[in-house]
Amino acid sequence: GDGHDMGHGMHMSMNGSDECGNGMAMFFHTGNCEYILFEGLQTKSVAGMVGACIVIFCLAVLYEGLKVLREYLLKRALVSGSKYQEVTIGTKGLSDPQVKSRLSMISGSHLTQTLLHVIQVFVSYCLMLVFMTYNVWLCIAVLLGAGAGYFFFGWKRAVVVDINEHCH
């Protein structure tokens, strides 16, 4: 550390051929040059970074909303089926076609939950990878989005601990 590379993440070369020539820094850094998830998605200006932060913020809010939506749909499916199951499982057992359909892996409810789970896992890993750019602005966008999402959606949750979370 002789201090020559303090603004490394923000410098722009004069000829414009290599605007973000600092590779992937494995430490927290600021700056507006960053590849975000895809090679084609690179911010090269302050406006680009602000736009990326807004999109990442919204993605993190969506992630929190998705968790609550899945929980809501699961509760609704269980409540709509629980009264009938309690009565019929004791008397007729699992031979009753109504009960069989409620417990089926191929029910519409379970397929919806599976699809939403896959989307939730994908979004969670995308947010994790964005955080792993170590860009302070993108990390703040993820954190603020998660906080805002929890503020808007989390108060409706009955369960505080989510056993389905993968990266928090």
Reply yes or no on whether the pLDDT at 13 is more than 80.
no
Reply yes or no on whether the pLDDT at 4 is more than 60.
no
| Global model pTM greater than 0.75 | no
Confidence of residue 7 (pLDDT cuts 50, 70, 90): very low
Domain ranges of the chain: 34-151
**How high is the pLDDT of residue 166?**
53
Q: Give residue-wise pLDDT tens across range 108-156.
A: 788 889 999 999 999 999 999 999 989 999 999 999 999 999 999 987 6
Q: Name the burial class of residue 77, with classes exposed (0-12), middle (13-18) and buried (19+) by CB atoms within 10 angstroms of its CB.
A: middle
High-pLDDT (> 90) share of the chain, %? 36
